[in-house]
Every structure is written in C-alpha cells, then in structure tokens.
Amino acid sequence: MDIQLTEEQRQVRDLCREFAQKELAPNARRWDADHVFPREAVRQLAEMGLMGVAIPPEWGGAGMDNVAYAIAMEEISAGCAGTGVIMSVNNSLYCDPLLKYGTDAQKKEFLVPFAKGERLGCFALTEPMSGSDAAEMRTVAARRGDEYVLDGSKNFITNGPQADVLLVFAMTDKAKKHKGISAFLVPSDAKGFTRGKPDEKVGIRASGSCSVFFEGCAIPARFRLGEEGDGFKIAMATLDGGRIGVAGQALGIARAAFDEARAYAKERKAFGQVISSFQAIQFMLADMATEIDAARLLVWRAATLKDRGVRHSAESAMAKLYASEMSERVTSKAIQIHGGYGYVKEYDVERHWRDSRITEIYEGTSEIQRIVISAAVLKD
C-alpha cells in the first residue's frame, strides 16, 4: 500500500488543519460547555466541500476519495470532535447510501443539497430496545397505496435535532426478521414526525442528538431507498464506510490530546527540571505516538480499500476498534501527564477524554467490531 499522500490529499490536510486551528479549537470548549450546535462552522465546512467529500461533483459533492475524507475527519475532529461527527454523519451515513442506492430522482432531491451542505441529513437505526441487534427493531412501515405509514421511535440520533431529512430503517415484514427491514427517506416536516429534547451527553456536546418519533407518519412510496427488504443490507454496508469516519474522528481526538500533553510536558517543571526529561513521561509519549501512527495506518488502509471498491468490512472494523480504544488510552495518558490540571476544565484534555469514549460505542460497539473481525478471520 502506498502511504504517500497525493497533492490533493495534502492540500485537504493543510486546509482542514488550518481551519481547525483557527475556527474550531478556539471555540470548542465553549460549544462543549453550552451544548452549542456550531452552525456557522458547519456552513464553512460546506463552503470547503467537506459535507460531501467523496460524492461526485455531478451530485453536489467535492469528488475526492475516501482517504481524503479520512484525513479531513482527523483534522476537523482534532479541532472539535462534535463538529467532526456532524460532518461524519452527513458524509458517511447519509450521503454515501444515497449515492449507492438512490435513484436519479432521489439523488437530485435528497443528495445534491446535502452533499453541498445546504441541508443536513442523519441516520436513524438505533431504537430504545434495538441497538447492536438491529433485527429487534420495533419501528414499522406499512404500505398503503402510494404511501408508507411509519410508526415507532428511534433514539441517540446524531444530527437529529437539526436534520432536514432522516434515513430511517423500519420493519415492512416482521416475519422475515432482518430481511424484512426497509429504508426510507423521511423529511423532518412530514406530518406525524416529532423530535424529543436534545440528549444530555458526556462528550461531543457540540453535536446534537435526540430521540425521534413516528406516529402515523405517511411518506410517498417513492421515498423508499432500495427495494423492500433491502434495509438491513443498506444499513450494514453504510456502517462499513461510517466506521472509517468514526476511526478518523477518534484519531483526531487522540492527536489533539497528544499534542497538548507533549507541549505541557516541555513546559511543566518538577524537581527542578521539565517533566519531559523524566523517563516515565517519555515512555508515555512514546506509546501514545506509536499508537496514533498505528491507528492512522489502519484508517488509511480501510479508506484505500473502499476507494478501490473492495470489500472492507473487516478492515473498517479493525480501524474503528483500534482507533477508538487507542483514543481512550491516549487521552487518559494525556490527563495523567497533566496531573491535577488534566482533571479540570482549564485544560482541554479532559474534554478530549470525554469525547473519545463514545467512539467505542456508536456505529457499532467494540464488541460488535470484534464479532465482525473474528467472523472474517475464521471464514476459511
């Protein structure tokens, strides 16, 4: 695998890094404390082409590759993890399945303005009683003439409070279990659709999430994505790509914490010398740097396979598993290096630690990633 970045990929990295340092990092602490959705920052991401990075220009996107997307996710998330996941959901969990499974008419209406960043999308799979086991979902969709009527609820829906359209998964035939799930595009102004209050979360608090409810919510049949019964396949294929975005997010969080810990270690003095001269600190920084680089290689490998059109379920799971667990380890060590200051909000490392934790849960828990990986290694 060629790990040298192209000129375009380097430009994306530099552009996103500069934006993150100037516009995101200075505001991230306030957005986190006040649960502020960074609307202006998201608008600027759209102007930079980052809300549809790997979507072709004819469908409103920037037309770049998935390695560029992974790089952008790392850089944006290093500035503000909440902003990073807003971008990730719109790219990976909304635009990507529209590109793969949408009709031309659906792409024109439901993809172009979202890839341009003029509107915001989200992905509604998880339910109160259905998380890792998607086949247990209770939300149903009944065909009535030229419409489908949805009833049920979803929770923990990232971008839910702000989304213009939701990609919703619902049972159209309970007897078929996971093969009876179908996918639908539900505009947020559809009658019978309501949102709950925003979730109070430990981390990524600039990113809104909430429960959503469907009560006799009727949508045109043309809003179904794919055929009836294709929903589980669409959801799983979408999550394969989405895990690359989450891995990039985890990588960016870890790198931000590492950079801050390294800088602090060079300035903080104890026993008459800077603490970076102590071997205990040096070894922590060495481990952190090694794990960050290892995670980046896994992320880029998964993104490269996706660009090649090669099945990448196991590789994406490996990237997401390792990067997310690495991120928690690195951010925890960053707090340790900061000592007591790491545990107060005067420094950002406590926020990075809080932000890292969710990456081991959403878009497939670490346990689910291990199931995917073990299935692949035991296949033959």
Give the domain CATH number at 217. Answer: 2.40.110.10
pLDDT digits (tens, 9 = 90+) for 243-277: 999 999 999 999 999 999 999 999 999 999 999 99
- Active-site annotation holder among 74, 109, 315, 363: 363
Residue 32 sits in the same domain as residue 104 = yes
Mean pLDDT, the chain, whole residue set = 96
Final residue before a domain boundary, out of 82, 115, 148: 115
Residue 262 sits in the same domain as residue 169: no
- 165-171 and 121-124: which strand pairing? parallel
Are residues 286 and 211 both part of a single domain? no
Cβ contact 107:59 at 8 Å = yes
363: annotated active-site residue:
yes
Q: Same structural domain for residues 37 and 135?
A: no
347-359: per-residue pLDDT in tens? 999 999 999 999 9
Domain boundary among 61, 80, 115: 115
* More confident site: 3 or 222: 222
Nearest to 126, CA basis, from 137, 142, 115, 117: 137
The C-alpha angle 47, 356, 100, rounded to 5 degrees, equals 50
Cα distances (angstroms) measured from residue 55 to each of 46, 92, 116, 118, 236: 13, 10, 9, 14, 19
Q: What is the pLDDT of residue 133?
A: 81
323 within some domain:
yes
DSSP 3-state of 171: strand
Instruction: Supply the pTM of this predicted model.
Output: 0.96
Q: How many CA atoms lie within 13 A of 19 on its CB side?
A: 26
| β-strands 181-187, 147-158 pairing | unpaired
Tally of structural domains, the chain? 3
The per-residue pLDDT for range 180-217, each reduced to its tens digit, is 999 999 999 999 999 999 999 999 999 999 999 999 99
The CA distance from 238 to 259, in Å, is 32
Give the C-alpha separation, 302 to 373, whole Å: 13
Q: Are 132 and 146 in contact (CB under 8 A)?
A: no
Domain that holds residue 187: 121-228
pLDDT over threshold 80, residue 2: no
Share of the chain above pLDDT 90, in %: 96
Domain assignment of residue 348, yes or no: yes
Which pLDDT does position 131 carry in this prediction?
A: 81
Nearest Cα to Cα of residue 365 among 320, 332, 329, 327: 320
* DSSP code for 202: S
pLDDT, residue 225, reads 98
Pair 48, 130 in one domain:
no
Alpha-carbon gap, residue 173 to 187, rounded angstroms? 23
User: Do 53 and 111 fall within a single domain?
Assistant: yes
Co-location of 290 and 166 in the same domain? no
The domain boundary, picked from 115, 138, 155, lies at: 115
Same domain, 184 and 70: no
Q: Give a yes or no: residue 2 inside a domain.
A: no
Residues 149, 65 share a domain:
no
Q: Same structural domain for residues 78 and 135? A: no
Residues 205 and 319 placed together within one structural domain of the fold:
no
Distance CA 234, CA 312 (A): 15
Measuring CA to CA, which residue among 183, 155, 180, 177 is closest to residue 97? 183
89 in the same domain as 50: yes
Give the CATH number, domain containing residue 354. 1.20.140.10
